[in-house]
Structure 1
Amino acid sequence: MSRLATRRWALLAMCVGVFCIQLDAFGLNLALPQIGRDLHAGGDGLQWVVSAYLLSTGTLMLGAGRLGDVFGRRRLLTAGLLVFGLSSLVCALAPSLSVLVGARVVQGAGAAMIMPVGLALLTNVYPAGLRGRATGLALGVGGIATASGPFIGGILTELLSWRAVFWLNIPLAVLGAVCASRTVESIDRTALRAVDWRGLLGATAALAVLCVVIDRGLRWPWPASLAGTTVVVVLLIFFVQRERTAAHPLVEPSLFRNRPYMALTLAGAVANTATVMFLFVVPLSLQGQWDLPVTLAGTAFLLPAVAMAVAGPLAGRAPQRAAVRLMTGCLCGAALVLVCLTLTSTLTAYVAVATVAGMVLGVANSLTRIATQAVIRIERAGEASGVTKTIITVAAGLGVGLAGAVADERRGVGAEPAADTVLLLTAYGALAAGAILAAWMKRGGKPARPTARRQADGPRSR
């Protein structure tokens, strides 16, 4: 098979996979009230339909990225798409909220294999001059699903059922798996073939316990919360010590000394959390605060959807040397726009400001994936992508879970003043992250040059 054909199959598989992942992350936002009625569930438990999926995805991405480097990205991408499709079938047939949430956890595991492995596959099959555009195109497709998810989910819920969102995944996942299986990947046979299973288990357990403690810890007696926090600390210490001494570390410690990579990843965690909160709150606000039916709420959200969808390709064309400056500007701009969103007094103004917010957040969110891949070594692309996606997805999942703390018990997070509170907290976080990045740049922080990529990530693997 020619290199051009391989690139096309890889890009198509990644586009389909990202579309499914992002559609399922946000396609159920407008459908949550109907899911509660159909499954006889209510209260803050419904938010787990969204947050359980995000947390599962983020928790497992770290290991998935490294496993892709070792055993082959094509294999893991194909497996991830098949797992995603099968779990979607269970979601579509779920008879209760507990079954639905459990299936969403498995679905998140499939998504964890797709995203970092797919990005690493594109990094490996595309030449340096085309990687940014290919990744930007794939993320642009994901942006379409991210932004139009509430609209698609709202229409399907109103015309058919919320279960139709999951039925839609099945043929798409099969198509993606077929495309991934036709990709020919060049694997470095001299690369490490071992996996640090103890480190993988320790990191995954630490992230899982951390998610539970943050989401539920405030409701526990203080001894239980303290015990949970202690377990997290012990597991993290074990993981750090293990990675320092392991012959084949899951994550090279040198990755965390890569300052451009860490700066972009941490800023990206804030940007992604802001994006997820925006996509979670605004569609529900159109139903709650502005009292629109599901179909009209989804239609009103189309302009922000289009703005966010075009952000991926735009970010892919951004100069690599300007990545940190552009990320700083996007974070500060997002903070300003989110504050303005809470001050609007008419529906027209609300949709207009939301459209600007969608564009700014879309650029910042897509830039994270593209820029971080540009400052690491190509043979560790899956590992770095897994770390990045783990951090930003767990942060976003925790944000959605904590949104229930300020939600109106009767009408949910889309009602005033709960929606404004969530947006303001998100804006403050974005502003703080932008200020920290600006201070780091002022002190001499610079993104790595493309010619110095090997030095940016430490010595080669042993």
Structure 2
Amino acid sequence: MNISKKTYLLLISACGSFLAPFMVAGLVVALPSISRDLGMDAVAMGWTANAFFLAAAMLLIPMGRAADIFGVKRIFNWGLRLYFLSALLAGLAQTAAVLMGARFLTGVGAAMVFGTSYALLSLSLPEEERGLALGINMASNFTGFSFGFLAGGLFASYFTWRALFLCTLPIAMLGMVLVRYRLPGECALAGGSRLDIPGAGALSLAVMVMIVGLSGLPGPRGLILMASSILLLLLFVWQERSSTSPLVQVRLFWGNRPFALSNVSVLVFFSSTFAVIFLFSLYLQYIRGFDAPGAGLVLLAFNLAAVPLVIVSGRLSDRYNPRQVSLAGAAVTAAGLTLMAVMGPDSGMPHSMAALFLVLAGGAIFSPPAIKSVLGCLPREMYGLGSSMVEAMRLLGNAVSMAVTTMALAYYIGSQKIDPEKYPLFMQSMGLISVLFLLLCLGSLVLVAASGRRRRTEQTRGQ
């Protein structure tokens, strides 16, 4: 690929990866202002934040498979169009219902973009350049998330929260124009296959019930929904085994063990890391006495500090075995979680900030090679499915991470307000959560190592 086309490809991918996390992070900060303007109650605020994640989780895998069949570029471009439309609707929303609908639509667009962006890069670039491209893609994601916090606070405080959504319109438009005029051709390597609509419906329903169930744990409603989601997943597996054109070839998970182990390692790793930002936000404000803007600036700075590491990790995965780079990332995260586990009220700021940096740095190092490893286990005509599968594992891991955190906080503090009398209990809960996350992180280390051994064994047998 010539340099100019490669530059356009990376810019297109970066546009898609920046927009969703920017709006998600900004919404978290701006939500109190939005709730006052639109008269939201607590339930409406929760659904406004969760509508995006629900739609994205439900549709990621179906959209990835649709990209294999109908074209990766086509589905990616439709995702950018939905970003544009949903941001416009959100910026002009006069009621909570319209804003929630717009955020759900953004989630649909995110399923299209994140379900295809890794495939778009992997199909367009040679093997030795994919890691760097994936690193740049994820750096855009980190940057969007970081600046979203800042933009949400600034717009809500000094202008209007609507600008948070409206300012993304030129970026979405730029991406659409570049796709149309600077990215010729199409990648539909599974063209002629049929999209498994019943399977897509069954999987989407199972994921929806699981996500809602995780948010309800450890209560009886959450347990019932989690059990129901498992039954629905079993129904999905049975349906796929009898389908002539399955959404997911179930045999991949026992016939292609490196693929299965690599995906599970992503799920387990992100289960151990996602809620760390949430915990440190509370820690900085309750224990260290930061105000909300001050805590936000600290988190912004540490997220931005991790951005170069994502790019470096991607480049390293082009030069060395990607699984070895992922192992290094998981080991760095484990070191950070170990520091978190021994933190106390009297621990100094250098101790706590070192823990935060190591966790974020480890995640930055782990991600690009982990994605490259998953896609490297599949034929090219399944890159769309692989791209969406690894992103679904990451999203589900995020939900598990928050569920673990919520259950630990509920066990120690219950439904009471976190006031100074509860600070010791908060620190105890943070210690327990850190230990649980450390165990999960060590589990991801084992899974990454096992996936590498299994792949070498299969390659040896094939020679």
Q: State the number of aligned residues.
A: 449
- TM-score (structure 2 length as normaliser): 0.84
Q: Is contact 2:240–2:247 with CA below 8 Å preserved after alignment?
A: yes
Aligned 1:141-180 pairs, distance under 5 A: 141-180=140-179
Counterpart in the other structure of 2:82: 83
Q: Secondary structure of the residue that 2:195 maps to in structure 1?
A: coil
Aligned 1:302-381 pairs, distance under 5 A: 302-316=300-314, 317-318=316-317, 319=320, 320-323=322-325, 325-339=327-341, 345=347, 350-381=352-383
Q: CA deviation at 1:134?
A: 1.0
Q: CA deviation at 1:150?
A: 2.0
Counterpart in the other structure of 1:458: none
Amino acid across the alignment from 1:326: A
- TM-score (structure 1 length as normaliser): 0.84
Counterpart in the other structure of 1:67: 66
Task: Give me the whole-angstrom Cα distance separating, in 1, the residues matched to 2:9 and 2:81.
Answer: 16
Counterpart of 2:299 (choices 291, 298, 301) is: 301
CA RMSD of aligned residues (A): 3.5
Task: Name the CA shift for 1:140/1:450 in 2 (closer, same or farther; >3 Å).
Answer: farther
Q: Secondary structure of the residue that 2:167 maps to in structure 1?
A: helix
Q: Is contact 2:68–2:189 with CA below 8 Å preserved after alignment?
A: no
Counterpart in the other structure of 1:383: 385
The one-character-per-residue Cα deviations of 1:20-73 (angstroms, maximum 9, x if unpaired) are 122123233333444444444465764444333223212210111111111011
Counterpart of 1:238 (choices 222, 235, 240) is: 235
Deviates more, 1:84-93 or 1:209-218: 209-218
Counterpart in the other structure of 2:205: 205
Counterpart in the other structure of 1:185: 185
Q: Is contact 1:300–1:351 with CA below 8 Å preserved after alignment?
A: no
Amino acid across the alignment from 2:166: W
Amino acid across the alignment from 1:280: F
Task: Give me the whole-angstrom Cα distance separating, in 2, the residues matched to 1:107 and 1:401.
Answer: 23
Task: Name the CA shift for 1:270/1:311 in 2 (closer, same or farther; >3 Å).
Answer: farther
Q: CA deviation at 1:360?
A: 1.8
Matched, 1:272 2:270: yes
Q: How high is the sequence identity, in percent, across the aligned residues?
A: 23
Q: CA deviation at 1:337?
A: 3.8
Q: Secondary structure of the residue that 1:30 maps to in structure 2?
A: helix
Q: Is contact 2:333–2:361 with CA below 8 Å preserved after alignment?
A: no
Q: Is contact 2:52–2:106 with CA below 8 Å preserved after alignment?
A: yes
Task: Give me the whole-angstrom Cα distance separating, in 2, the residues matched to 1:52 and 1:160.
Answer: 25
Which blocks of at least 5 consecutive residues in structure 2 are unaligned? none
Amino acid across the alignment from 2:382: R
Deviates more, 1:337-346 or 1:233-242: 337-346
Deviates more, 1:417-426 or 1:128-137: 417-426
Amino acid across the alignment from 1:446: R
Q: CA deviation at 1:304?
A: 0.6
Task: Name the CA shift for 1:243/1:331 in 2 (closer, same or farther; >3 Å).
Answer: farther
Q: CA deviation at 1:449?
A: 6.0
Q: Is contact 1:29–1:284 with CA below 8 Å preserved after alignment?
A: no
Q: Is contact 1:337–1:357 with CA below 8 Å preserved after alignment?
A: no
Task: Give me the whole-angstrom Cα distance separating, in 2, the residues matched to 1:27 and 1:276.
Answer: 17
Q: Secondary structure of the residue that 2:239 maps to in structure 1?
A: helix
Task: Give me the whole-angstrom Cα distance separating, in 1, the residues matched to 2:438 and 2:62.
Answer: 31
